[in-house]
């Protein structure tokens, strides 16, 4: 059985890892959407 402090430390570590993954994923999605928007905009012009 893990002690309370070990559980809290584990929870904080997992939360930080999840937050990092989510932030990277959001950045990738934003970049993809920006690229699609730019490509669509260029296609409209040309």
26: number of Cβ within 10 Å: 10
> 1-46: per-residue pLDDT in tens?
779 999 999 999 999 999 999 999 999 999 999 988 888 877 776 6
Whether the CB-CB separation of 22 and 30 falls below 8 Å is answered with no
Within-domain flag for 10: no
Note whether residue 36 is domain-resident.
yes
pLDDT of residue 46: 63
Q: Spell out the residues 6+ positions from residue 2 whose beta carbon is closer than 8 angstroms to its own.
A: 10
- The pTM of the full predicted model, rounded to 2 decimals, is 0.62
38's CB contacts (< 8 A; 6+ apart) are none
What tokens does 26 get? Answer: 């959001």
Number of domains the chain is built from: 1
Residue 43 within a domain = yes
Q: Find the domain containing 30 and state its range.
A: 19-46
């Amino acid at each position: 059985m893990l002690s309370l402090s070990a559980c809290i430390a584990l929870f904080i570590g997992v939360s930080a890892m999840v937050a990092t993954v989510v932030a990277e994923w959001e950045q990738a999605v934003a970049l993809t959407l920006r690229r699609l928007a730019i490509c669509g905009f260029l296609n409209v012009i040309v």
